[in-house]
């Protein structure tokens, strides 16, 4: 697949989507919008649950209270950014904040369905029959919302695959019983049908729609994909592409995903296998159609994702690794290691990857604590690195937390956007090669070798999928 155009915006293939979670957290999430001009040409994924204040949630922003009064999601985000700067003053005053037009970005809307399922379940007093009716209403509201705000793309509404319990939810017996009784497959089938009917009736629906695929085993993934194609035929409606869910984490997954695959000791490669396998299964069935792998855009995954057939992917890992740092660590960023208390956790900096001139960097890919990054490490030349002169500068900003929290947040966003830029750079590099083998031959390193080995095994096992 080559670059595509969506609503007059170019989307390179493959593309890494930055996750913007304003409304889903404080601190860094707010500054993601402030410094978005440093990643202006990188597409973004937003979570419906976080930006829709109809669902009351912990970090909801009052600036989203009238979100439906805007013509586009880009206009809404432009407004929010302006409010954060002028009303909240949440930016580093020594930086000349540049404008960023969010309308230029390709923006994908994801449902945040696991939170919505909990919300609706409670609303229905954990009654399954009521839930079935209500959840369809929520799905229709979701599509109306996406259409009204002219999102470029949307992930079709479904229940998701597996549920995790947060905080006190493990003690919520009503919710637990509800999950046990919930027939996900049945309700997802119903939602898929209702989605197609809605889209057939709304021929001018603005966003490009990605049908969501789930399945706890390779064979169920295959069955689900074929089911979507069957419904497409029956209703004579074609989705734009597919969004693959439930494959971002390999925790507690069915062991059959690894059938016939031998791993090297590289843990990063093992985590990349599940999405690659799922993408390969779907790609074999749907051919050269658009595939987005939800949450699967971690750096080591990218080559496997692409050569197995994915067009795009997202990941919050750059932001999460920055979030690994705590405030205590800011006091010790220039201290000798021996003086550092065990509770001081440093934000992690992406090392490895490529320079802006496409030359490979000497370090192997990793996220390492900022403390351990050499003050003289050469910067990569990305938009974030171009804001500072050295790693020392970055550490100084980080160290200013006690007197100027905004300097600290700025340092964290520079680290976040540097990592995101590296993900985008890898997408650009791999698009230059027609095969995983060609990519490896020109970019030989330990990680790519391990990825090539997994890729060859997945391809040779195609028949068992
Ligand atoms: Zn950089």
pLDDT in tens, 176-232: 889 888 888 889 999 999 999 999 999 999 999 999 999 989 999 999 999 999 999
CATH code that applies to domain 4-320+443-464: 3.20.20.70
Q: Please give the distance, rounded to the nearest whole angstrom, from the Cα atom of residue 74 to the centre of ligand 1.
A: 26
Express each pLDDT in 266-286 by its tens digit. Answer: 778 888 999 999 999 999 999
Whole-number percent of the chain with pLDDT over 70: 97
Q: How many A from CA of 76 to the centre of ligand 1?
A: 29
Instruction: Give the pLDDT confidence score for residue 442 in this predicted structure.
Output: 97
Q: What is the pLDDT of residues 86-145, one digit of tens each?
A: 999 999 999 999 999 999 999 999 998 889 999 999 999 999 999 999 999 999 999 999
Directed axis angle between helix 113-123 and helix 173-181, to 10°? 110
Residue 393: pLDDT above 80? yes
Tell me the average pLDDT of the chain.
Answer: 94
Residues of the chain with CATH 3.20.20.70: 4-320+443-464
| Residue 164: predicted pLDDT | 61
As a whole number of angstroms, the distance between CA 464 and CA 182 comes to: 30
**94 CA distance to ligand 1 middle (Å):** 20
Interval between CA 418 and ligand 1 midpoint (Å): 4
Residues 407-425: tens digit of each pLDDT: 999 999 999 999 999 999 9
| Residue 463 clears pLDDT 60, i.e. is over it | no
Nearest Cα to 212, choosing from 275, 155, 161, 287? 155
- From ligand 1's centre to the CA of 417, what distance in Å? 7
- Our measurement of the distance from residue 384's CA atom to the centroid of its chain's CA atoms, rounded to an integer in Å, reads 20
State yes or no: pLDDT of 464 exceeds 60.
Answer: no
> What residue spans of 35-183 are helical by DSSP H?
48-51, 73-83, 113-123, 128-148, 173-181
Contact predicate 150/71, CB 8 Å: yes
Q: Please state the pTM of the whole predicted model.
A: 0.96
Nearest to 157 by CA among 138, 180, 130, 175: 138
Q: How many residues does the chain have?
A: 465
Measured in Å, residue 271 CA sits from the centre of ligand 1 at 25
Give distance in angstroms: CA of 168 to centre of ligand 1: 40
d(CA 416, ligand 1 centre) in Å? 9
Specify whether the CB–CB gap between 400 and 383 falls below 8 A.
no
Distance, CA 88 to ligand 1 centroid (Å)?
28
Predicted pLDDT at 243: 98
Write down the pLDDT at residue 56. 92
167 burial type by CB count under 10 A (0-12 exposed, 13-18 middle, 19+ buried): exposed
Dist CA 250 CA 232 (whole Å)? 30
Distance 389 CA to ligand 1 centre (A): 11
Distance CA 90, CA 99 (A): 15
């Amino acid at each position: 697949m080559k670059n595509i155009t969506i609503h007059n915006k170019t989307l390179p293939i493959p593309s890494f989507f930055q996750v913007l979670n304003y409304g889903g957290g404080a601190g860094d999430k707010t500054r993601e919008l402030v410094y978005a001009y440093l990643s202006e040409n990188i597409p973004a994924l937003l979570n419906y649950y976080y930006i829709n204040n109809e669902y009351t949630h912990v970090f909801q922003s009052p600036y989203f209270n009238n979100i439906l009064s805007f013509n586009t999601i880009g206009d809404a985000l432009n407004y929010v950014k302006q409010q954060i700067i002028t009303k909240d003053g949440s930016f580093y005053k020594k930086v000349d904040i540049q404008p960023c037009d969010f309308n230029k970005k390709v923006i994908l809307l994801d449902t945040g369905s696991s939170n919505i399922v909990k919300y609706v379940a409670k609303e229905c007093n954990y009654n399954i029959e009521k839930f079935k009716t209500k959840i369809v209403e929520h799905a229709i509201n979701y599509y109306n919302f996406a259409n009204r705000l002219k999102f470029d793309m949307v992930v079709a509404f479904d229940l998701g695959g597996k549920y995790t319990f947060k905080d006190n939810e493990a003690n919520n017996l009503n919710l637990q019983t509800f999950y046990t009784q919930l027939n996900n497959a049945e309700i997802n089938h119903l939602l898929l049908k209702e989605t197609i009917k809605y889209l057939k009736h709304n021929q001018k629906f603005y966003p490009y729609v990605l049908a969501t695929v789930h399945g706890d085993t390779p064979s169920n993934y295959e069955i689900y994909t074929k089911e979507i194609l069957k419904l497409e035929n029956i209703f004579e409606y074609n989705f734009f592409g597919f969004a693959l869910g439930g494959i971002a984490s390999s925790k507690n997954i069915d062991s059959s995903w690894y059938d016939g695959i031998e791993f090297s000791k590289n843990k990063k490669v093992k985590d990349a296998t599940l999405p690659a396998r799922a993408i390969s299964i779907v790609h074999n069935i749907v051919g050269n159609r658009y595939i987005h792998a939800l949450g699967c855009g971690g750096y080591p995954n990218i080559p496997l994702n692409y050569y197995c057939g994915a067009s795009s992917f997202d990941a919050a890992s750059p932001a999460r690794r920055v979030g690994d740092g705590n405030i205590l660590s800011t006091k010790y960023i220039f201290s000798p290691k021996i003086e550092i208390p065990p509770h001081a956790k440093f934000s992690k900096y992406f090392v490895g990857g490529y320079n802006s001139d496409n030359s490979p960097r000497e370090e192997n890919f990793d996220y390492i604590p900022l403390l351990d990054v050499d003050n003289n490490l050469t910067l990569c030349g990305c938009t974030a690195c171009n804001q500072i002169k050295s790693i020392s500068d970055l550490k100084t900003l980080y160290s200013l937390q006690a007197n100027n929290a905004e300097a600290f947040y700025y340092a964290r966003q520079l680290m976040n956007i540097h990592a995101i830029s590296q993900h985008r750079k890898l997408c650009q590099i791999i698009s230059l090669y027609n095969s995983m083998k060609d990519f490896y031959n020109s970019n030989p390193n330990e990680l790519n070798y391990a990825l090539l080995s997994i890729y060859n095994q997945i391809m040779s096992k195609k028949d068992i999928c």
